[in-house]
Amino acid sequence: MVDIGAHWDRVHATQGPTVVPDDDEVGVAGLRHFGDLRGARLLDLGCGNGEYSLYFAARGAQVTAIDVSKVAIASLTASCAEAGIDDVVAIRASAFDVAELGPFDAVFGSMILHHLEPFDAFVDVLAAAMAPGGRGFFYENNAMSKALVWCRRHLVGRFGIPRNSDDEEFPLEPRELGLLARRFTIEVEYPTLYLARMASGYLLRGHGERQLGWIDDLLYPIERIRRLSYRQYVKLTGAT
C-alpha cells in the first residue's frame, strides 16, 4: 500500500511556494465561474503549497485549504503567518474527508481530481461538501486523446523520456466526467489546445514544444479536436 502522504511530502520538500499573478489564466477562469467571492467559503482541494488558496483569499474568500501532505500544509501555514493572513485555514486531510469541513460555496482544485480513487466515492463526498447551488472549478488533465494515453503508457519512463507522474495517477477520464455529471451541472472548457505540444514532450522529449504551438493554435477552432486537449477546466454547479 502506497503511503500517499509520504510520497507527496517528498515532492513538496523540493518545491517552494510561488506566487500566482493577478492575471493567472486558471485563477481568472476560476473567478469567472465562482463570481464574487467576498465572504464565500471556499475549499482549495489538494492545495499543495497553497498558491491558489492565497489567490482566492486575496479576493475575499474564507479559505479552507486541505492536502494530504504535511509538508505542503506546513509550507502554507508558514506563508500565511509570514504575510499576516488569517482568512486561510490549512488542514492536513484527505480529499475523502472534506464533507465534514463544509458546507462550501466554492470548491477549487488544480490537478487533484485525477489522483482520487475510487472516484465515484469522491463525487459523493464532493456533493455532500457543497452548499446548495455551490460551484466547483477544477483545472485538470484529460485522457480523451487515445494517442496521448498510448504515449503515456508505452513511452514514458523509457527511451530517456522522464516520468513526472506517480504510478497511481491517470489523466481524468471521460467516464469520470460522467460521474460528476450525475450530481452536478457540468461544463467543460478547453482554454487552449494542448496536444501537439504535449506530444512533443513524449516523442521529442519536450524539444520543439514552443515551435509546435502553432499547430495547436491552428487546430483549436475544430471542436472535436479541441476536446482532445490535455488541459481542461471542469466547471460544476450544484443543485439548489
Site string for ligand SAM, 148-187 (x = CB under 6 A): ----------------------------------------
Contact status: 231 vs ligand SAM (CB under 6 A): no
Nearer to ligand SAM, 69 or 232 (CB): 69
Answer for the pair 198, 228: CB distance below 8 angstroms, yes or no.
Answer: no
Residue 234, CA distances (Å) to 40, 50, 84, 129, 184 in order: 20, 20, 32, 17, 11
Query: What's the rounded Cα separation, in Å, for the pair 121 and 180?
Result: 11
Q: Which residues on adjacent β-strands are paired with residue 141?
A: 231
Buried b (16+ CB within 10 A) or exposed e, 104-138: bbbbbbbbbbbbbeebeebbebbbebbbeebbbbb
Contact status: 48 vs ligand SAM (CB under 6 A): yes
Contact status: 95 vs ligand SAM (CB under 6 A): yes
Contact status: 143 vs ligand SAM (CB under 6 A): no
| Of the candidate residues 77, 94, 192, 237, the single one contacting ligand SAM (CB under 6 A) | 94
Contact status: 47 vs ligand SAM (CB under 6 A): yes
The residues near 75 (Cβ < 8 Å, ≥ 6 apart) are 12, 16, 17, 49, 50
Site string for ligand SAM, 187-216 (x = CB under 6 A): ------------------------------
Answer for the pair 62, 108: CB distance below 8 angstroms, yes or no.
Answer: no
Residue tagged 498558491 (cell numbers) = 51
| Of the candidate residues 68, 179, 195, 198, the single one contacting ligand SAM (CB under 6 A) | 68
Beta strand ranges found along 114-230 (DSSP E) = 130-141, 185-189
Cα of first residue to Cα of last residue in the chain, in angstroms, is: 39
Contact status: 69 vs ligand SAM (CB under 6 A): yes
Contact status: 101 vs ligand SAM (CB under 6 A): no
* Shortest spacing between CB 109 and ligand SAM, in angstroms: 7
> Residue 161: phi, psi to the nearest 5?
-90, 120
Nearer to ligand SAM, 192 or 208 (CB): 192
Specify burial of residue 78 (Cβ count, 10 A radius: 0-12, 13-18, 19+): middle
* Shortest spacing between CB 157 and ligand SAM, in angstroms: 18
How many chain residues are in contact with ligand SAM, going by CB under 6 A?
17
* Shortest spacing between CB 67 and ligand SAM, in angstroms: 5
Nearer to ligand SAM, 30 or 48 (CB): 48
Query: Which residues sit at the interface with ligand SAM, rule CB under 6 A?
Result: 4, 8, 46-48, 66-69, 72, 94-95, 110-112, 115-116
